[in-house]
Amino acid sequence: MKVLIAEDEHNIRQGLEDILNAEGYETVSAENGRIAIELYESEKPDFICLDIMMPEMNGYDVCRAIRDNNKDIPVIFISAKSEEVDKVLGLELGADDYILKPFGVKEVIARIRAVTRRYLQSQNVAIKEEISSFKMHELEVFPNELRARRGEKVVELSLRDTKILSFLFKNSGQAIDRDKLFNHCWGRNYLPSSRTLDQHISKLRKRVELNVSKPKIICTVHGFGYRFDP
Amino acid sequence: MITLGWFGVKSAQDQREIHKHRIIALITQNLARLDESISELVKSYERKLNTLDSMTDYSTSALRKVVRSIPVVHQLLILDQRGKRIFPSHVSFTRPEYEFIRRTKPFIETFLKGSRRGKNERRNHRRRKRKALRSPQTFGTKKSSDYRPRPYKKSNKRKVTTRENGNIRIEQHLYANSSQENKTSKLVRAKIAKQKIQRQPIRNKPTDTESRVLALNSSTSNTPQLKEKRPNAELKNFSTSADHNADDSPIIKYDTPNTRPKSATTAQQDKSTSEKKWIKKSRTRFEVMPPEHYNSSNKPARKPQSTIVINKQNNSKSQVIVANTQQQPLRSVDKNKEKNSRPHNTKEPMKRARERGNRDVPQAGQRNPESSSAGLNYSSPSPSASPTKLHQQKSLSHKNIRTQKLTSTSSVKPSLQPQTKESVFQDLRGWSIGFRKNGINLIFSFRKSDGYLIAAEISRTRLIADITLLSPISKSQTKNITQSRITLTNARGDIISQWGRYEPEKNSKPLVSYGLAVPLNSWKLNYFSAKIDLNNTYSYAPFALGVSAVFIAVFGLAFYFYRESNRELTVASQRVTFVNQVSHELKTPLTNIRMYAELLEEDLEDSNDRTRSRMQVIINESQRLSRMIINVLNFARHQRKQLTIIRSKRVVDDIIHHVLDQLRPALQRLNIEVEFKANASQEIDVDTDILEQILHNLISNVEKYAATGQYLGIESCIINDTIQLTLSDKGPGIPRAMIHKIFEAFYRGNNQLAEGVSGTGIGLSISRELARLHGGDLELVNSQQGITFKLTLDSKAKRK
C-alpha cells in the first residue's frame, strides 16, 4: 500500500514516514498542499495522511480536491487544530479519521491500521484471490483485518506482519531467502539492512509465537532465511 | 430614594428659578447695553447731521458734494421755507435722486400739510381767508376751529405719526429742538409739555402698543397690508396700481390723498401710461407749481401784514423771531418791491440769497435771505443760538400774546395758518421712519435757522454696518460666544445683524427679546443660547427629574455591575485565548519529542533496561504533557462553550485497554495493581477523545493521590445504551467536608494531600463537565475504602 503524507513540518513528516514504513506501507511525502495534489495524481496512492495547516493549499482543500476525484480513498487528518469545528469540518469533508497532535506512535499506528482494515474489507472484491484467513498451527491469521487470533487472544498485526506471514504461508515448508523475503515485504526501493529484517522478525515472533525461544511459525534457516513448517 | 431624589430636584429647581431670573436679568442688561450703544450711534449720526446747520450753499453741485462727504447720508432733501424743493433740483436730478424723491414724497407731504393741497382745497382755503377778512369778528373762534383744526389735533399726533400710503409707512418721532423754546407760543409750549410726557417712554423704549403696532404692520409685509386695504374703495385703486407697477405707485399714492379720489378707470389709465409720461407730468406740475404755491401763501397775507411787521419792529428781539418764524409777513413786505422782479424760476431766490450772503451778511446761514432782501438789518444772533432761553421764553410768550392782541385790536387778520404751521416745523427736529419695501427708511429732518427744511436719508447699509461693528458681548463673556447668539431683527423678523457663533435652530424662540429705542423701535434684539433652556414647564419637571434621577441611578448601578462582570469575562476570555494559543504552539515540538521518543524506544529493543527506562521517562512525560495540554485546551474551550461531542462507533473496552496501556508504565512503577472487569465489548456510539480524557484524568488521580492503596479497579458495562464505568482505589480517600468541593475547578484536595503532587486542579472539574456534555455524569460513590467514581456516558445524543 502506498501512502501519501502531506505535512509541512519536516521532522513530523520524517517521523510519519518512518512509522508507516515500519508498518509496511510505501510512502510519498509532500511539504505542501499543491505538491500533495500533484503527487496524488502521479503516484496514485492508496492512503492519504493530511496536515491541515499547510502553505499554498490547506488540508481541507486538498481533501476536497481528492474527494472530487476518488470517493473511496482513505484520508486521515493529522493536525494540531483541536477545535471541534475543525474536526467536524475534516470529517464532513470525507476524512476517515482525525488524529490530534501531539500524537503517540501507537495511536497513529492503531488508527492507521483501523482505517486500513476498513479499506481492505471494502476492497474485498479487488483482492479476492487472497484468502480471507489461514491457519498457522494454533494461530489463525486474518490478513484483511490485520489481525491474528490464537484461541481467545487477538493479535494485532501490521500490514507488513501480515505480508510476512502470508508469504511464509504461501511457501510453507520452503526455506525463503532473506533477500527474497525482504524484497517482497519491504519493496525494492527500500534500502536493505540485515538488522531491519531480523529485528522485525524477532518482534513478530514475540507476538505470534507461543515460545519465542523455540519458534514454530517463523523458523530460522541458519545462514539462509526463514521457513514455515505446517 | 424617590422622595429623596424629588426633594433634591425640587430644591434644585427653586435654585434654578432664581438662577433663571438672574440669567434673564443679565442678558437683558447686556441687550440694553447694546441698545444704548445703538442709540448712541444714532445720536452720533444726529450730531453729524446737525453740522449741516451751517450749510449755506444750496447749489446742486455743492449739495451733492455734501452728500458724498458725509457717508451716513444717503440722500439729502432740502425744502425751502415754503416747502418748495430745492434739492434734489427739479431741473436736474440723477436716477438715485429721482428715486429718492419718489420714495420720500409721503414724507414731504407730512411736512407740507396745508401748503400743498389740491387745487380745490387751495381755492377753498383762499375763500375762507377772504371770508375771514370780511368778517373779522368771527376770527378769534372761527380761526381755530375752521382754518386750523388740523394742526392742533395733529400736533399731538405728530410725535408719533403714522401714515400709510400704499406700502409706504411713515412714522415720525420729532422732538422739540433746543432752540425752539425761544419762540414758543402757548400752543407750542403745550405741545412740548405733551411731548415731554411722551418722550419718556419713547426714549427708553417704545411702549408696548407702539412696538406691537410696528411689529404687526411691518411683519405683514407689503402684500398683506394691501389686502387689508382692499375694502377701502378709495385706496383700492392705488393698491392695485401698487401691485401692478411698484415703480409708479409712490407718485400716484402721493398725489391722490390730496386730490380728489380717482376713479378706478383713471387709476388704470395712470398705470397704463408709461413712466416717461408721468415724469413729464410731474415735471410740468412742478414747474407750474412754484408761482402758484407762492401766490397761494402770499396772497391772503398780502394786504394786512405790514402792520404786524411794523408792530413787531417795536421790539428788536421779537423782530428776529418774527422774521425767522413768520416769513410770510416779511415776504409780503418784500413783495411790493420785488413783486415784478421775482422770476418764476425756483433757483432765483437761492442765487440771490447766496449773492447777498456773500456780499453783506456775515451770518447768512442763520438768516433768512428773504429778510435781508427786505432791507432789514438783523445783527442779533439767530434764535437757535440764543443763550437766554428761559428768559426769552417768558418774554416771548408775553409778546406773542401782545402781538395777537395787537393784531386783533388793529383789526387786521393775519394768516395764522402759516405761522403755526411753521412754528411746528421749526420746533421739531427728529426722525421720520419710513417703511419701504422690506426695510426701514430713516430720515432725519430739521429746519434750519434760515427756515430751510433739511431732511437727510440715512444710508441703510452704513447704519447696519455700524451696528454690526458694535460688539454686544463684553470681554468677560467671550467664552460664551460659542454658546450664544444675539440677532438684530427687523419687524418682519429678518435678521439684520448677528453676533456670536451659536447657531440656533430654525424657528427656535429667543431666550430674551429686547426692542430698540426710537427711531429703530421696530427692530428687536434677540438672545439665543445653546446652554440655557428656561422653557421647562415647572409643574412636572421636578417629578420627572426625580424619577429620571432614580432611573439613572438604578441603570448606572446595573451598568456598573454589568461592566464589572463583563470586564471579568473579557479578562477571562483573553486569558483563555492566550492559553489556547500557547498550548497550540506547544503542540508541534511536543509531537516531535513524543513521536521520536517512541520511535527510539522501539529501536532500543535489544539495549539494556536502563536505557529503555530512561527512554520511557521521556515518553511518559511527553504523554503527560500532551494530556495536560489537551486538558487545558478543553477547559478553555468549555469556558467558551465550544465543546462539542463527536460520537463514533467504538468498543469501550478497547478504549480502556488503550488508556491502560498508555498509563501502565507509570502504574507499574508505583506498584499499582490494575483490575479491569471488561463487560462492554460491543460497539457503541461514544466520543473516544472525551472518554480517553476522563479515564486519563481519573487514573492519573489515582497515581497522584491514591498510590498508597496500590489498587485500581475498573469495571465497565453497558446498560440501555448507557456506558457505565466504575473506578475505585484503596487510597486515603477524601474527607467528608471536602467531598462537594472536589469537582470545583482549581480545587486541589487539602494541602497535605496535594503537597508535592503536580497538577492543575482542573482534572475532575473538566471530567465532570465532559461527562455531562456526553449526556452522563461523573459522581463520587460511597465506598468503604478510598474513593470510587462512577462515570456514565449516554450513547444517544441528547445534549443539554
Q: Is B498 left (phi over 0), alpha (psi -120 to 50) or beta?
A: beta
Residue B606 CB contacts under 8 Å (≥ 6 apart), including other chains: A199
Mean pLDDT comparison of B125-134, B374-383, B754-763, highest-scoring range: B125-134
Rounded CA Rg of chain A = 19
Instruction: Report, as an integer, the average pLDDT of B540-559.
Output: 81
| Higher-confidence position of A122 and B594 | B594
Residue B90 CB contacts under 8 Å (≥ 6 apart), including other chains: B283, B286, B287, B346
For residues B473 and B475, give the distance between their C-alpha atoms in angstroms, rounded to a whole number: 7
For residues A58 and B31, give the distance between their C-alpha atoms in angstroms, rounded to a whole number: 77
B717, three cell numbers = 458495562
**pLDDT score of B781 more than 60:** yes
Give residue B461's identity as a one-letter amino acid code: T
What's residue B408's pLDDT? 40
Select from B449, B432, B451 the least CA-distant residue to B382: B449
Place of cell 468541593: B741
What's residue B279's pLDDT? 44
Split at pLDDT 50, 70, 90, the class of A4 is: very high
What's residue B154's pLDDT? 44
Please answer yes or no on whether B630 and A84 come within 8 Å at the CB atom.
Answer: no
Q: Please report how many Cα atoms fall inside a 13 Å half-sphere around the Cα of residue B286, on the Cβ side.
A: 20
Chain A nearest CA to B716, separation (Å):
19
- How do residues A88-134 score in pLDDT, each as one tens digit? 888 888 888 888 888 888 888 888 888 888 888 877 655 555 667 88
**pLDDT score of B233 more than 60:** no
What's residue B479's pLDDT? 52
Split at pLDDT 50, 70, 90, the class of B482 is: low
What's residue B402's pLDDT? 44
Residue of A9, A16, A104 with shortest CB distance to B594: A104
Q: What share of chain B is helix, strand, coil (3-state, %, to 5)?
A: 60, 15, 25
Instruction: Report, as an integer, the average pLDDT of B443-457.
Output: 82
Residue B242 CB contacts under 8 Å (≥ 6 apart), including other chains: B166, B167, B226, B249, B252, B253
DSSP state at residue B51? G
Enumerate the residues of chain B whose CB falls inside 8 A of the CB of residue A11.
592, 596
- The answer to which of A179-188, B368-377, B636-645, B689-698 has the lowest mean pLDDT is B368-377
Residue B613 CB contacts under 8 Å (≥ 6 apart), including other chains: none
**pLDDT score of B506 more than 70:** yes
Q: Which residue of B has its CA nearest to A92?
A: B646
Longest Cα–Cα distance in chain A:
57
Instruction: Report, as an integer, the average pLDDT of B299-327.
Output: 39
Q: Which residue of B has its CA nearest to A106?
A: B598
CA torsion B266→B268→B272→B274, rounded to 10°? 50
**pLDDT score of A5 more than 90:** yes
A89 in contact with B at a CB cutoff of 8 Å?
no
For residues A147 and A117, give the distance between their C-alpha atoms in angstroms, rounded to a whole number: 9
A88 in contact with B at a CB cutoff of 8 Å?
yes
How many residue contacts between A and B have a Cβ separation below 8 Å? 75
Length of chain A: 230
Q: Which helix (H) or strand (E) holds B685?
A: strand B683-686
Query: What percentage of chain A reaches a pLDDT higher than 90?
Result: 7
What's residue B749's pLDDT? 55
CA B575 to chain centre: 54
Please answer yes or no on whether A104 and B599 come within 8 Å at the CB atom.
Answer: no
Residue A57 in contact with residue A37, Cβ under 8 Å? yes
- Residue B519: asked if its preceding bond is cis (omega within 30°), the reply is yes
What's residue B135's pLDDT? 60
Please answer yes or no on whether B588 and A199 come within 8 Å at the CB atom.
Answer: no
For residues B399 and B762, give the distance between their C-alpha atoms in angstroms, rounded to a whole number: 124
**pLDDT score of A164 more than 70:** yes
Residue of A16, A22, A88 with shortest CB distance to B646: A88
Q: Which residue of A has its CA nearest to B687?
A: A84
For residues B326 and B321, give the distance between their C-alpha atoms in angstroms, rounded to a whole number: 8
**pLDDT score of B465 more than 60:** yes
Instruction: Report, as an integer, the average pLDDT of A183-192.
Output: 72
A212 in contact with B at a CB cutoff of 8 Å?
no
Give residue A110's identity as a one-letter amino acid code: A
Instruction: Report, as an integer, the average pLDDT of B613-639.
Output: 78
A77 in contact with B at a CB cutoff of 8 Å?
no
Query: What percentage of chain B reaches a pLDDT higher than 70?
Result: 52
Please answer yes or no on whether B599 and A82 come within 8 Å at the CB atom.
Answer: no
What's residue B96's pLDDT? 83
What's residue A127's pLDDT? 53
| Higher-confidence position of B310 and A54 | A54
Mean pLDDT comparison of B271-275, B282-286, B435-439, B613-617, highest-scoring range: B613-617
**pLDDT score of B321 more than 90:** no
What's residue B4's pLDDT? 63
**pLDDT score of A14 more than 80:** yes
Residue of A83, A102, A105 with shortest CB distance to B590: A102
Please answer yes or no on whether B637 and A103 come within 8 Å at the CB atom.
Answer: no
For residues B379 and B382, give the distance between their C-alpha atoms in angstroms, rounded to a whole number: 9
| Higher-confidence position of B733 and B231 | B733
Angle CA A135–A136–A140, to nearest 5: 45
Residue B416 in contact with residue B147, Cβ under 8 Å? yes
**pLDDT score of B119 more than 70:** no
Please answer yes or no on whether B622 and A102 come within 8 Å at the CB atom.
Answer: yes
Mean pLDDT comparison of A220-229, B362-371, B790-799, highest-scoring range: A220-229
For CA atoms B217, B219, B221, B224, the dihedral sign is negative
Q: Please report how many Cα atoms fall inside a 13 Å half-sphere around the Cα of residue B720, on the Cβ side.
A: 2
Return the residue in B584, B598, B615, B657 with the most chain A beta carbons within 10 A, the one to mutate for interface testing.
B598
For residues B680 and B724, give the distance between their C-alpha atoms in angstroms, rounded to a whole number: 9
Instruction: Report, as an integer, the average pLDDT of B125-137.
Output: 70
CA B123 to chain centre: 58
A103 in contact with B at a CB cutoff of 8 Å?
yes
Please answer yes or no on whether B602 and A105 come within 8 Å at the CB atom.
Answer: yes
Instruction: Report, as an integer, the average pLDDT of B493-497.
Output: 79
Enumerate the residues of chain A whose CB falls inside 8 A of the CB of residue B633.
82
What's residue A6's pLDDT? 92
Enumerate the residues of chain B whose CB falls inside 8 A of the CB of residue A104.
594-595, 598, 623, 662
Please answer yes or no on whether A101 and B646 come within 8 Å at the CB atom.
Answer: no
| Higher-confidence position of B418 and B549 | B549
